[in-house]
Chains A and B, each alone.
Chain A
Amino acid sequence: MSAKNNRCTAIWRYLWGCLPVFAAYAGYAQEKDSLTEYRQLEEVVLWQQRKLPEHTAPVPVQVLTGEALKKLNSLSVADAVRYFSGVQLKDYGGVGGLKTINVRSMGTEHTGVFYDGIRLGNAQNGQVDLGKYALDNMEEIALYNGQRPDAGQSAKAYASASTIYLQSRKPEFAAGETYHLHAGIKTGSFGLANPYLNLDYKISDYLSARLSTAYTYAHGRYKYRFTNGVYDTTATRENADINAWRVEGALYGTTGFNSKWFLKYYHYDSERGLPGAVVANRFYRAQRLWDRNSFLQGEFRQQVSERYSVVFRGKYSKDYSRYLDPEMVTTSGFLDNRYHQESLYFSLSNTYRFTGFWKLGLAVDYENNTLDANLYRFAYPERNNYLVALTTNIDLPRLNIQAGLLSTTVKDRVRYYKGAEDRQEFTPTLMAGWQPFGNPDFRLRAFYKRIFRMPTFNDLYYTFIGNTFLKPEYTRQLNAGFSYRYHPGTYLLELQGDVYRIWIRDKIVAVPGTNLFRWTMLNLGKVETTGIEAKAKLSGETGWGLVYGAQLSFTWQEALDVTPGSSAYGDQIPYIPVHSGSAGISAAYRKWQLNYSFIYTGERYSQKANIPSNYLQPWYTHDMAARHEMNVFGNKMEVAVEINNLLNQYYDVIRNFPMPGRSYRIVLNYTL
Chain B
Amino acid sequence: MKNIVHFRYLFFCGVILVAGCRNDDTFDPEEKGEERTYTDGFYLLNEGNMGANKASLDFYDYGSGTYTRNVFSKANPGLVGGLGDVGNDIAVYGSKLYVVVNVSNKVEVLDVHTGKRLGKIDVQNCRYITFYGGKAYLSAYLGEVAIDPDAPNGMVAEIDTTSLEITRTVEVGRQPEELAGYNGKLYVANSGGYSPPDYENTLSVIDIVSFKEEKRIALGINLHRVKVDSYGDLYVSSRGDYYDIPSSLYVVAADTVKKVFDLGVSNMTLHDGILYAYSTEFNYHTNENVVSYSMIDTRTEKIINEMFIKDETQENIEVPYGIAINPENGEILLTDAKDYVSPGTLYCFNPDGTLKWTQVTGDIPAHIAFVK
Interface residue ranges, A against B (CB under 8 Å): 226, 228-231, 233, 276-282, 286, 326-335, 376-377, 463-464, 467, 469, 488, 490-491, 511-520, 522, 536, 538, 540, 542, 548, 550, 552, 567-568, 581, 583, 585, 598, 600, 602-603, 606-609, 611-613, 615, 617-620, 622, 649, 655-656
The count of A-to-B residue pairs whose CB atoms sit within 8 angstroms is: 208
Known: A231-B80, A280-B53, A606-B52. Is A516-B10 also a contact (CB below 8 A)? no
Known: A279-B84, A550-B10. Is A467-B122 also a contact (CB below 8 A)? no
Q: Is A282 a contact partner of B193 (Cβ separation < 8 A)? A: no
Q: Is B197 a contact partner of A329 (Cβ separation < 8 A)? A: no
Q: Is A612 a contact partner of B28 (Cβ separation < 8 A)? A: yes
Q: Which of B2, B20, B103 contacts A282 (CB 8 A)?
A: B103
Residues of chain B at interface, number, CB under 8 A: 86
Q: Residues of B contacting A612 with CB < 8 Å?
A: 26-30
Would you give the 0/1 interface string for B337-351, flagging 1 where the beta carbon is closer than 8 Å to chain A?
A: 111111100000000
Would you give the 0/1 interface string for B46-80, flagging 1 where the beta carbon is closer than 8 Å to chain A?
A: 01011111101000000000000000010001111
Q: Is A231 a contact partner of B194 (Cβ separation < 8 A)? A: no
Q: Residues of A contacting B85 with CB < 8 Å?
A: 277, 279-280, 282
User: Please, how many angstroms separate the alpha-carbon atoms of A84 and B111 in the complex?
Assistant: 52
Q: Which of B53, B104, B197, B343 contacts A609 (CB 8 A)?
A: B343
Would you give the 0/1 interface string for B129-143, flagging 1 where the beta carbon is closer than 8 Å to chain A?
A: 000000000000010
Known: A617-B26, A618-B20. Is A583-B33 also a contact (CB below 8 A)? no
Q: Is A583 a contact partner of B21 (Cβ separation < 8 A)? A: no
Q: Is B13 a contact partner of A331 (Cβ separation < 8 A)? A: no
Q: Is B28 a contact partner of A615 (Cβ separation < 8 A)? A: yes
Q: Is B343 a contact partner of A618 (Cβ separation < 8 A)? A: no
Q: Residues of B contacting A228 with CB < 8 Å?
A: 27-28, 31, 73, 82
Additional A-B contact list (8), CB under 8 Å, known A280-B82, A655-B52:
A279-B53, A329-B147, A329-B194, A332-B195, A512-B289, A598-B16, A607-B342, A615-B26
Q: Is A618 a contact partner of B22 (Cβ separation < 8 A)? A: yes
User: Please, how many angstroms separate the alpha-carbon atoms of A402 and B142 in the complex?
Assistant: 61
Q: Is B17 a contact partner of A516 (Cβ separation < 8 A)? A: no
Q: Residues of A contacting B335 with CB < 8 Å?
A: none
Q: Which of B17, B22, B50, B150 contacts A598 (CB 8 A)?
A: B17
Q: Is A513 a contact partner of B103 (Cβ separation < 8 A)? A: no
Q: Which of B82, B106, B174, B280 contacts A331 (CB 8 A)?
A: B174
Q: Is A607 a contact partner of B341 (Cβ separation < 8 A)? A: yes
A651 to chain B, nearest CB (A): 8
Q: Which of B13, B84, B243 contacts A281 (CB 8 A)?
A: B84
B253 to chain A, nearest CB (A): 28
User: Please, how many angstroms separate the alpha-carbon atoms of A331 and B154 in the complex?
Assistant: 12
The answer to the question of B12 belonging to the interface, with a C-beta cut-off of 8 Å to chain A, is: yes
By Cβ-Cβ distance, the 10 closest A-B pairs, closest first, are A280-B81, A280-B84, A229-B27, A279-B85, A333-B149, A277-B51, A279-B53, A612-B28, A330-B195, A281-B104
Q: Is B12 a contact partner of A567 (Cβ separation < 8 A)? A: no
Q: Is A581 a contact partner of B81 (Cβ separation < 8 A)? A: no
Q: Residues of B contacting A332 with CB < 8 Å?
A: 195
User: Please, how many angstroms separate the alpha-carbon atoms of A520 and B242 in the complex?
Assistant: 12
User: Please, how many angstroms separate the alpha-carbon atoms of A568 and B32 in the complex?
Assistant: 25
Task: Give A582's nearest chain B residue, CB to CB.
Answer: B16
Q: Residues of A contacting B83 with CB < 8 Å?
A: 280
Q: Residues of A contacting B207 with CB < 8 Å?
A: none
User: Please, how many angstroms separate the alpha-carbon atoms of A192 and B195 in the complex?
Assistant: 38
Would you give the 0/1 interface string for B1-31, flagging 1 where the beta carbon is closer than 8 Å to chain A?
A: 0110010011011001100111111111111
Interface residues of B in 99-126 (CB under 8 A from A): 101, 103-106, 120, 122, 124-125
Task: Give A488's nearest chain B residue, CB to CB.
Answer: B2
Task: Give B364's nearest chain A residue, CB to CB.
Answer: A516
Q: Residues of B contacting A328 with CB < 8 Å?
A: 194
Task: Give A329's nearest chain B residue, CB to CB.
Answer: B152
The answer to the question of B272 belonging to the interface, with a C-beta cut-off of 8 Å to chain A, is: no
The answer to the question of B182 belonging to the interface, with a C-beta cut-off of 8 Å to chain A, is: no
Q: Residues of A contacting B6 with CB < 8 Å?
A: 491, 538, 540, 548, 550
User: Please, how many angstroms separate the alpha-carbon atoms of A227 and B242 in the complex?
Assistant: 40
Q: Which of A377, A463, A512 contacts B319 (CB 8 A)?
A: A512
User: Please, how many angstroms separate the alpha-carbon atoms of A448 and B150 in the complex?
Assistant: 58
A492 to chain B, nearest CB (A): 11
User: Please, how many angstroms separate the alpha-carbon atoms of A381 and B23 in the complex?
Assistant: 49
Q: Is B337 a contact partner of A512 (Cβ separation < 8 A)? A: yes
B290 to chain A, nearest CB (A): 10
Q: Residues of A contacting B81 with CB < 8 Å?
A: 226, 231, 278-281
User: Please, how many angstroms separate the alpha-carbon atoms of A264 and B193 in the complex?
Assistant: 45
Known: A329-B142, A330-B152, A464-B242. Is A585-B32 also a contact (CB below 8 A)? no
Task: Give A334's nearest chain B residue, CB to CB.
Answer: B149
A-B contact pairs, 10 of them (CB 8 A): A228-B27, A230-B78, A277-B85, A278-B53, A329-B194, A514-B266, A522-B287, A615-B28, A618-B22, A656-B51
Task: Give B266's nearest chain A residue, CB to CB.
Answer: A514
Q: Is B149 a contact partner of A329 (Cβ separation < 8 A)? A: yes
Q: Which of B17, B22, B281 contacts A619 (CB 8 A)?
A: B22
Q: Residues of A contacting B122 with CB < 8 Å?
A: 281
Q: Residues of A contacting B363 with CB < 8 Å?
A: 607
Task: Give A613's nearest chain B residue, CB to CB.
Answer: B28
Known: A279-B51, A608-B341. Is A231-B21 also a contact (CB below 8 A)? no
Q: Residues of B contacting A552 with CB < 8 Å?
A: 12-13, 16
The answer to the question of B362 belonging to the interface, with a C-beta cut-off of 8 Å to chain A, is: yes
Q: Is A279 a contact partner of B103 (Cβ separation < 8 A)? A: yes
User: Please, how many angstroms separate the alpha-carbon atoms of A226 and B84 in the complex?
Assistant: 13
Task: Give B264's nearest chain A residue, CB to CB.
Answer: A514
User: Please, how many angstroms separate the alpha-carbon atoms of A325 and B70 in the complex?
Assistant: 32
Task: Give A520's nearest chain B residue, CB to CB.
Answer: B282
- Pick from A230, A522, A583 the residue with the most CB of B within 10 Å: A230
The answer to the question of B218 belonging to the interface, with a C-beta cut-off of 8 Å to chain A, is: no
Q: Is A656 a contact partner of B30 (Cβ separation < 8 A)? A: no
Q: Residues of B contacting A511 with CB < 8 Å?
A: 339-340
User: Please, how many angstroms separate the alpha-carbon atoms of A600 and B341 in the complex?
Assistant: 27
The answer to the question of B239 belonging to the interface, with a C-beta cut-off of 8 Å to chain A, is: yes
The answer to the question of B312 belonging to the interface, with a C-beta cut-off of 8 Å to chain A, is: no
- Pick from A327, A568, A649 the residue with the most CB of B within 10 Å: A327
Q: Residues of A contacting B80 with CB < 8 Å?
A: 226, 231, 233, 280
A418 to chain B, nearest CB (A): 9
B343 to chain A, nearest CB (A): 6
Interface residues of B in 304-344 (CB under 8 A from A): 319, 337-343
